Structure 1
Amino acid sequence: MELDEAFGSVGQFGRSQKRLTAFLVLLQVYVACQSMLIVLVGAVPEYHIDQGEIPASTEELARHVRFADNFTSIATEWYLIRHEAYKVNLASSLYFAGLLIGNIFFGPLSDRLGRKPVYMSGLFFDVIFGYVTAFAPSYEIFAMSRFIVGIMNGGMSLVSFVLTQEYVGKSYWALTGSLTNLTFAVGIAIYAFLGYYIREWRFLAFVSNSPGVFFFLLSLYVCSLVYYGLTFSAGELGGNLYLNVALYGLIEVPAFPLCMFFIEKSWSGRRKTTTSFLIFAGFACIFTIFLPENSGFFFSPTLLALCGKLTVSAAFNIVYIYTSELYPTVVRNAGLGVCSMTCRFGGVLAPFVPSMKTLNPSVPFMVFGISGVSAGFLTLLLPETLNKPIAESIEDLQGPVYQMLKNKKVNQLEENT
């Protein structure tokens, strides 16, 4: 039985599938809190140094510095100011470096060992080292724990995204993928709300990490991946193939018709939409250079920057969905890992781009703008995946039947009839 046949027979988005994907989508709230942790935990309040000359050592600095605000952070506890201020940014870069490594290794591992064991292991160690972060006795242990949390968080969230795609039929991939990224943004807002009321950084780190325990316990009941099992013969599955498929996709119920109408009708295709969003974001960044600061609200650099941010977020969302549709089942997570790895690499480098202002104030805008425009045009070299068949193996990509189904005229005829 082919994949599309299986989902067509038992339902693409049944009740149990909705529950599973809802759980994985809500997991992004926890992922977002871990990703944004350093923004508040590493905040540096205003401070005053009693004596005129700058203390030479951290111990000396601790005796003479006074912090003005009433919140604590790693900067106030370990006096990461002056010559030690770089350590806050270093902790942030270590986290993103961990995300980079997690994306590299977790993708191929989940393709080889299965999604669930790799996902469960990543979430378990993510929670453990999240608590190490909250109770770290020194900066060195804090930085080390952030690096490991980055590895686990990046790999685990990548696998969970693939699970939201593979638990449902292909026609719902755009919906589940979009909801995943939308919930991540909601998680950032929730973390900001927590940070407003929780002023002690260790307690904030503890509270932000605690939902991970809840999600881990619930994950113990998440079923084994049906989609991955379909790539093996029925004999290897011990006769449980049809039981698994029927159990988790028995009833077909239309969901979110308005969202699906927007996704399927308004978007002209994954490739075209990604291209237009990236190019607009790039031009928005470049045009900011030529706008004066006092040019009115509708022509202000701030509004243009917000529009650029909106389109970058939209392109980021679609790229994940697009990548999952490009790769066959057996290497899908590895392919998404490469995509996500590039993003994390950008996260490591991005903090250093503003320093290019020393060369010219316009250089950072040109770097980000040219990156967006060039990425947009390069996307045109890729094939379209909207309403196209799913490849289940490497051999499918080269098969004559698959190539025929990819043909635009054949798909148009199928849609018309």
Structure 2
Amino acid sequence: MLFPIFSSYTPKWRCKFNDASSLPTLGSDSATFSKNCTVFQHCTAPNTIEFDHIYFHSAALEFNWICGSMGYLVPLFAQIQFCGVLIGTLFYGSLSDCFGRKPVAMFALSFGISMIVLSGFAPSWQILLVARFFVGLCIGGVVVVVYTWTMELVLPEHRIPIRSIFNWHRLKRKQLCRELFRDKGLRRRVLVLWFMWFTSSMCSYAIDLNSSEISGNLFVNQILFSVIVITAKWFLIPFDALQFSRRNLHQYSQLMAIIFSWH
């Protein structure tokens, strides 16, 4: 799902002057590495564009999604994939109810893998965008269907005892979605939780998808991001007890994030 980090990677550039008379025309910024589209568009022959630290040839470099009329394809690439994820989460859930979890899960996995291979060998950016849309569609199916299917692998004779451990209570009537908004206190909590989850997801994906803009080695930065997330999750295990206050953890964590991000 975070593949756009690498597909949209674009290193800084500068104009490599073969003709010194062009320097005053482009300005002094053209001699230093930056992401100045004016330099990129006006650096013409006999001068050439020189990139800084090309770790690999991303889709942005291969199909020239850098500046000008093609520059909009960089954000569009991620948008199309995440639109596929959104549609897949809605579409595959209904399919799995009609045709079963296993066949739909196997289809989502196999078709998704084939689309990943196609995106790797796409001869044009149009085919690449279509392939990544279907990859996102299959990711939505995997998130919804495969997780449910693995939970249903528990033998039927063990499902009721396992569920009764956590749900041993009187049977209540089925509640509707509007019940969440009738009570003032419950309505306030739901709205706060929705806003928190939306903000958390937006910040998380914004940081991940823009991590390629951070200075330094791209791969080292991604490893550091992963290590921090894994360490934080392992750190929470010994504190997840009855006396553990998740509200305090959340509030103090947000406070620390605000303090350290302030500059």
Q: Scaled by the length of structure 2, what TM-score is found?
A: 0.52
Q: Deviations over 1:6-60 (max 9, x none)?
A: xxxxxxxxxxxxxxxxxxxxxxxxxxxxx12221232111211346255659xx7
Counterpart of 1:118 in structure 2 is 104
**AA matched with 2:80:** L
Counterpart pick for 1:78 among 42, 54, 63 = 63
Which whole-Å CA distance do the structure 2 matches of 1:173 and 1:49 have between them? 68
Which whole-Å CA distance do the structure 2 matches of 1:104 and 1:92 have between them? 19
Using a 3 Å threshold, how does the CA distance of structure 1 residues 161 and 86 change in structure 2: closer, same or farther? same
Could you list the runs of 5+ residues in structure 1 that have no partner in the other structure? 1-34, 175-187, 198-258, 292-299, 306-360, 362-417
**AA matched with 1:124:** S
Counterpart of 1:43 in structure 2 is 9
Which whole-Å CA distance do the structure 1 matches of 2:104 and 2:242 have between them? 36
**AA matched with 1:137:** P
Instruction: Give runs of aligned pairs for residues 203-242 of structure 1, distance below 5 A.
Output: none
Asked whether the equivalents of residues 165 and 173 of structure 1 are also in contact (C-alpha less than 8 Å), the reply is no
**AA matched with 1:144:** V
Asked whether the equivalents of residues 92 and 104 of structure 2 are also in contact (C-alpha less than 8 Å), the reply is yes
Q: Scaled by the length of structure 1, what TM-score is found?
A: 0.34
Which whole-Å CA distance do the structure 2 matches of 1:40 and 1:80 have between them? 13
Q: Does 1:67 align with 2:51?
A: yes
Q: Deviations over 1:245-278 (max 9, x none)?
A: xxxxxxxxxxxxxx8x987x6499xxx96xx48x
Counterpart of 2:138 in structure 1 is 152
Counterpart pick for 1:130 among 97, 103, 116 = 116
Which whole-Å CA distance do the structure 2 matches of 1:66 and 1:172 have between them? 65
Counterpart of 2:127 in structure 1 is 141
**AA matched with 2:151:** Q
Counterpart of 2:250 in structure 1 is 280
Counterpart of 1:91 in structure 2 is 77
Instruction: Give runs of aligned pairs for residues 9-408 of structure 1, distance below 5 A.
Output: 35-50=1-16, 52=26, 54=39, 64-71=48-55, 72-83=57-68, 84-168=70-154, 169=159, 170=162, 196=219, 266=242, 276=247, 280=250, 285=254, 287=255, 300-302=259-261
Which whole-Å CA distance do the structure 2 matches of 1:132 and 1:147 have between them? 12
Q: Using CA pairs below 8 Å that are at least 6 residues apart, which structure has the higher relative contact order?
A: 1
Q: Give, in angstroms, the shift of residue 137 of structure 1.
A: 1.1
Asked whether the equivalents of residues 103 and 154 of structure 1 are also in contact (C-alpha less than 8 Å), the reply is yes
Asked whether the equivalents of residues 67 and 76 of structure 1 are also in contact (C-alpha less than 8 Å), the reply is no
Which whole-Å CA distance do the structure 2 matches of 1:165 and 1:117 have between them? 15
SS for the counterpart of 1:69 is coil
Identity %: 26
Which whole-Å CA distance do the structure 2 matches of 1:156 and 1:55 have between them? 41
Using a 3 Å threshold, how does the CA distance of structure 1 residues 161 and 119 change in structure 2: closer, same or farther? same
SS for the counterpart of 2:117 is helix
**AA matched with 1:39:** I
Could you list the runs of 5+ residues in structure 2 that have no partner in the other structure? 17-21, 27-37, 167-207, 213-217, 221-236
How many residue pairs align between the two structures?
170
Q: Give, in angstroms, the shift of residue 151 of structure 1.
A: 0.3
SS for the counterpart of 1:40 is helix
Using a 3 Å threshold, how does the CA distance of structure 1 residues 161 and 55 change in structure 2: closer, same or farther? same
